[in-house]
Copies of this chain bind each other. A is one copy, B any other.
Amino acid sequence: MNDIYALLEENNLSRTPCRVEILKTLSQAGSALSESEIRDKLGYNYDRTTVYRTLRNFLNQNVIHSISLEGGEVRYAMTPSRDKPHGTHHVHFYCNNCSGVYCISHKPFNTPRLPSGFSPENFDLLVHGKCKNCSV
């Protein structure tokens, strides 16, 4: 709980109930959540607009990050502290069975050679498969 207050303070964000609850929800969630999942978990006590604006603020400050899935679905998750100020290699796992999205260790990984002329700046790897809970 104090972590959350500290996180807000570090990022010059005032401590409002909405912000605190969203961060608490994302911290406790085992996987990345969509905006509607977040609002659902908060009992629809906050307006859609407010939640989106809050998420946008968090994204701008890199407090959270977003993961884009096939078909344009977007999920939000806490940014691991090791990834501040900025990470270049990101790995996420999408479970084909339960649709859960998990942030995986962000250590730089080997990347394929690109055609000449292309200069890479960062890498986002999305792995599809069966997650811990679903791979029997």
Interface residues of A (CB under 8 A from B): 66, 68-74, 91, 93, 96, 102, 104-105, 107, 109-112, 114-133, 135
A100 to B118, CA, bound (A): 12
- Given B69, B74, B120, which contacts A129 in the complex, CB threshold below 8 Å? B120
Q: List 23 A-B contacts (CB under 8 A).
A: A68-B70, A68-B73, A71-B74, A72-B73, A93-B120, A104-B114, A105-B115, A107-B112, A109-B112, A115-B132, A117-B132, A117-B133, A118-B127, A118-B129, A120-B127, A120-B128, A121-B128, A122-B128, A122-B129, A123-B125, A124-B126, A124-B127, A125-B125
Closest B residue to A133 by beta carbon equals B117
Give 7 closest A-B pairs by Cβ, nearest first. Answer: A117-B132, A110-B110, A109-B112, A72-B72, A120-B129, A121-B129, A119-B135
Chain B residue contacts of A69, Cβ below 8 A: 68
Closest B residue to A67 by beta carbon equals B70
A114 to B132, CA, bound (A): 10
Q: Is the Cβ of A119 less than 8 Å from the Cβ of B114?
A: no
Q: Is the Cβ of A119 less than 8 Å from the Cβ of B111?
A: no
Chain B nearest CB from A58 CB (Å) reads 15
Q: Is the Cβ of B71 less than 8 Å from the Cβ of A68?
A: yes
